[in-house]
Structure 1
Amino acid sequence: MGKVAVIIPAAGRGRRARQSGAEAKQFRPLAGGASALARVIRLFRSHPAVSRIVVAAHPDDVTRIEGMIDGKGCEAQVVHGGETRQQSICNALQALDAASHDRVLVHDAARPFASVQLVDRAIASLETYEAAVPAIALTDTIVELAPDDARGPTLDRDRLRAVQTPQAFRTRPLQQAHEAAVATARDDFTDDGALMAWHGHVVGLFEGDSGNVKLTTAQDMRDAEQRLWAQQFLACPDVRTGTGFDVHACVDGDHVVLGGIAIPHTDGLSGHSDADVVLHALTDAILGALADGDIGAHFPPSDMRWKGQDSALFLQDAVSRVAARGGLISHLDCTIMCEAPKVGPHRDAMRRRIAEIAGLPLDRVAVKATTTERLGFTGRGEGIAAMATATLRLPFTSDTAN
C-alpha cells in the first residue's frame, strides 16, 4: 500500500472570525501559543502514517507558511490556493503523485482540535471505502426555515449527521472527481465528500469527534482560547514569577518609545536599542522566571546587531523561550516611573502592543504608571524607569522535581 498525504486548504481570509484589523483566523495565535494552522501542521507532521503535507495558501501567505513547515518530519510543500476551497484542493492535488501517495486526507486549517485517534480512524476508513468522512450525530432539534423565516418542518435528527474533517480519499479517484468538476464548470462544492458523491462514489462515514470544532466566528475563536488556556494550565502546574527592572537616561529628542509605542515628548531616551524601558523590563521578568540569564546576556550592547533595534525583538525572543520549554505566560504586569510624558492616554495602546508581541489576551497584560513625587532622577526628569513582573506556568520536568 502507498503512502498517506495530507492537504490543508489555508487560502481563506476567515472574514466571519475576523475583527477589524485582525489577521485571518488560521494565523491568529491561540492561548499565547501556536496558531490554528500551526497546530494542524504539527498534528500531521508528527503522525507516523503521514509522509507528505501540501498546504494551499493565499499568495501573500506562502513565505509565512513555509516557515511553519520548515523543520523535521514528513515532506511538506506550499502551493497557491484558489478563489474557492474547491480550487485550492484541486491545486494541491496537482502536486501529488497518486502512484507514491495513493491515499490523501483533506483537513481544514481552522480545525486545530483534531486528535491522533481521529486521524487514525480516517486512514483506517480507506480499507473499506474510496472516500469517507467523519460525522457526528446531532443533539439539537433541527428544523427547516420557512419562507417567512418562521419555523418550518422538523427534521428527523436520527437520520442526520454533521460532517467534519479530516476527510479520507483514494488519491486518484479524488483527482479524477476534481478534473470532472473543472470540465463541467462545477466549483460550488464546499467539501470533497460531496464532490466525490456527485462523481458517483459511495462516501462512507466514520466516527467523528464532537471536540473537533471548526473556528468560524469570533465567538469560536474566544471559545478556542478558553479551551486551550484550560488545557495548558492543567499541563503546566509549575508556577514561576520573575521580576525585571530597567532605566534609561533622557537625552535630546522628540519622542520616547514605551511599551512598543512611540510617544511625542520633549526628550528622547538614551540606549543601544530603542531604549524601551517597558519591553526591556518585561523581557528580563520573563527571563528571570525561566532562570535564563538577562537581556544583556542574550542581547549584549557590545553587539552592533542590536543598535537601534526595535525592543519587540527582545520580548519575542523571551516569549519563544517559554514556548520552547512547553510553558505559557499567564500574566505580564509593568509599572512605569516618570513625571512625563503622561502614560494614561497611551496605556491601552501599550497593552495591545505587548499582548500582540507576547501572544496574550488583552486582559492578561497590565500597564501602570506612577511619579516619584519629583524625587530622585525620575522626579527631576533625568530618566524613565520601569519595573515588571511576569507570571509563567511550566510543565514539571525531572530537573524541576530535583
Structure 2
Amino acid sequence: MSYSAIIVAGGSGSRSGGKKQWMRLGGRPMLDWSVTAFSGALQIVVVVPVDDVIQATQRYGEAVTVVAGGSDRSGSVVNGLRALEAEDEDLVLIHDAARPLLKSSHIDSLLQTLKTQRSAILALPVTDSLKQGSDVVTGAPSRDRLWRAQTPQAFRYGDIVRAYKAWPGGPATDEATVAAAAGIEVALVEGDVRLHKLTYPNDFGLLEALMDKPVKQIRVGQGFDAHRWGDGESVWLCGIEIVHNQTLVGHSDADAGLHALTDAVLGAAGLGDIGDHFPPSDPQWKGASSDRFLQYAVDLVRQNGGTVINVDVTLICEQPKIKPHREAMRVRLAEILGVTIDRVSVKATTTEGMGFTGRQEGLAAQAVCAIEL
C-alpha cells in the first residue's frame, strides 16, 4: 500500500541534553534512522526547528521535504500535513524521530490494519502495576485495558487534517488524541519495546542495547606459494632471514611463507590475491620486502571492518631446517598481524623426497587465515 510519512523532530531536546535528532545513535544522527525506515514512502516530510531547516535540507537533499516546526507538537504536525501533496483517502504515517528503531514490519502492520480501519496506532499494553501519588502512594489504578501509545500513527489524510482543524487547542501529546476527539475510531496495533521513546540521556544506552547488532561472520582464507632455489647466501621465510647456501628466486624477496599468508588474509575477506595488488610486472616491487605485502593485506581487512583471528602457516621443504627459527617466525608474524603469538602457528614438513620440494628444486608454503567481519 502506498503512503506518505511525516517525521516530527521539532523539539528542543531540553530533557535529553540537546537537540536529540542530531545526537548520534549507533554512529548516525538519530533522525537518519527514521528517514531510512521510511524509504518506501511516496513522500517524506521532516519537521525540524526553524534553525535546523538548512542543516536538514543539506543532509537529506531531495529525498525529503523539510519544514519548520510549530510552537508545540500539534503545530509541528499541522505544518507537516500542509507540506504533503495528498488526497483525502491517501494514507499518512506520523512518527516521532525520538523513536529511531522503526522497522518495516511496524509500518507493514499499520498498513495492513488500514485496509479495514480508518486509523491505527502502535501501542503496548501496560504491564507494570500503576500507582497514584506524589511522595507516597495514594491509589492504585487498574492497568486493565490501558495501553502505552507509540508511533508511527496512521490515518487517512483528510481525516487527520479535519481532526486538527476541529481541535480546540491545548496540549495534544499524539495524533490519536486529536483523532479520537473528532470522533475517528483509532485501532490498536501491537507495538514493540524497541520503539521506546528517547527522552532522557540514559535512554541512549537503552536504545543502543535494543538495536539489532550486526551479525559477525567468521571467514576463512587459504594461500599457497612456491619458489625455486637459486644461488645465494640466505633465504627469507615468514619475515625472518635465514643463513643458507641458496636463496629463493622471485620478483620480490621471494618469501613464500609471507606470500602464502598474504593470499590467505586477502582470500578470507574476498579481496583478491597478492598478484592483484602487487603484480610482478610492476618494477616497484622488485626485491621488495614481503612483510609490506602482508601488512597491506591486514590493513585492508581492517578497513573493511575485519580483524584477524588466527593464522597457520606450513613450510614444505627439505632444507633449510625450520624448527630452530620457528619461534622467531611466530613473533614476527604476530607483530605484522597485530595479534598475540598464541594466534600464530608455523609448521614445517617434507614430502619424503617426492616432487619438486623433495628433489630440492624449490620450496612451497601454504597458509590458512581466519578473520572476523
TM-score (norm 2): 0.57
Q: Which has the higher contact order (CA 8 A, sep 6+)?
A: 1
- For residue 202 of structure 1, report the CA deviation from its aligned partner: 1.1
Separation in structure 2 between the aligned mates of residue 144 and residue 61 of structure 1, nearest angstrom: 39
- For residue 227 of structure 1, report the CA deviation from its aligned partner: 4.0
Matches of residues 192-341 of structure 1 in structure 2 within 5 Å? 192-228=175-211, 231-232=212-213, 234-237=214-217
Partner of 1:90: 78
Amino acid of the residue matched to residue 206 of structure 1?
V
Runs (4 or more) in structure 1 with deviation over 3 Å come to 225-228, 236-239
Gaps of 5+ in 1: 240-288, 292-320, 330-388, 390-399
Partner of 1:176: 162
Task: Determine if contact 1:4/1:101 at 8 Å carries over to the other structure.
Answer: no
SS of 1:91's partner is helix
Partner of 1:7: 6
- For residue 81 of structure 1, report the CA deviation from its aligned partner: 0.6
Partner of 2:65: 77
Residues 203 and 226 of structure 1, relative CA distance in 2, 3 Å threshold: closer
Q: Which has the larger radius of gyration?
A: 2
Amino acid of the residue matched to residue 25 of structure 2?
L
- For residue 192 of structure 1, report the CA deviation from its aligned partner: 0.3
Separation in structure 2 between the aligned mates of residue 8 and residue 188 of structure 1, nearest angstrom: 19
Amino acid of the residue matched to residue 63 of structure 1?
I
Q: CA RMSD in A?
A: 3.1
SS of 1:157's partner is coil
- For residue 166 of structure 1, report the CA deviation from its aligned partner: 0.4
Amino acid of the residue matched to residue 8 of structure 1?
I
Separation in structure 1 between the aligned mates of residue 206 and residue 306 of structure 2, nearest angstrom: 18
Matched, 1:28 2:23: yes
1:43 to 33, 37, 45: 37
Residues 101 and 55 of structure 1, relative CA distance in 2, 3 Å threshold: farther
1:60-105 CA deviation, whole Å, 9 max, x = no partner?
A: 111221233236xxx5200111111110000111112332871100
Separation in structure 2 between the aligned mates of residue 130 and residue 200 of structure 1, nearest angstrom: 11
1:275-328 CA deviation, whole Å, 9 max, x = no partner?
A: xxxxxxxxxxxxxx9x9xxxxxxxxxxxxxxxxxxxxxxxxxxxxx97xx6x59
SS of 1:218's partner is coil
Residues 127 and 237 of structure 1, relative CA distance in 2, 3 Å threshold: same
1:317-348 CA deviation, whole Å, 9 max, x = no partner?
A: xxxx97xx6x599xxxxxxxxxxxxxxxxxxx
Task: Determine if contact 2:121/2:154 at 8 Å carries over to the other structure.
Answer: yes
Partner of 2:54: 63
Matched, 1:116 2:104: yes
Amino acid of the residue matched to residue 221 of structure 1?
F
Task: Determine if contact 1:106/1:168 at 8 Å carries over to the other structure.
Answer: yes
Residues 68 and 158 of structure 1, relative CA distance in 2, 3 Å threshold: farther
Amino acid of the residue matched to residue 25 of structure 1?
K
1:104-138 CA deviation, whole Å, 9 max, x = no partner?
A: 00010011112111110111221122221111112
Separation in structure 2 between the aligned mates of residue 90 and residue 224 of structure 1, nearest angstrom: 28
Partner of 1:159: 145
- For residue 238 of structure 1, report the CA deviation from its aligned partner: 6.9
Matches of residues 356-375 of structure 1 in structure 2 within 5 Å? none
Amino acid of the residue matched to residue 87 of structure 1?
G
Task: Determine if contact 1:26/1:37 at 8 Å carries over to the other structure.
Answer: yes
- For residue 236 of structure 1, report the CA deviation from its aligned partner: 4.3
Residues 55 and 63 of structure 1, relative CA distance in 2, 3 Å threshold: same
Question: Between the two proteins, what is the percent identity of the paired residues?
Answer: 33
Give the total of aligned pairs.
Answer: 233
Task: Determine if contact 2:4/2:43 at 8 Å carries over to the other structure.
Answer: yes
Partner of 1:134: 122
- For residue 149 of structure 1, report the CA deviation from its aligned partner: 3.3
Separation in structure 2 between the aligned mates of residue 111 and residue 328 of structure 1, nearest angstrom: 31
Separation in structure 2 between the aligned mates of residue 238 and residue 25 of structure 1, nearest angstrom: 36
Residues 200 and 136 of structure 1, relative CA distance in 2, 3 Å threshold: same
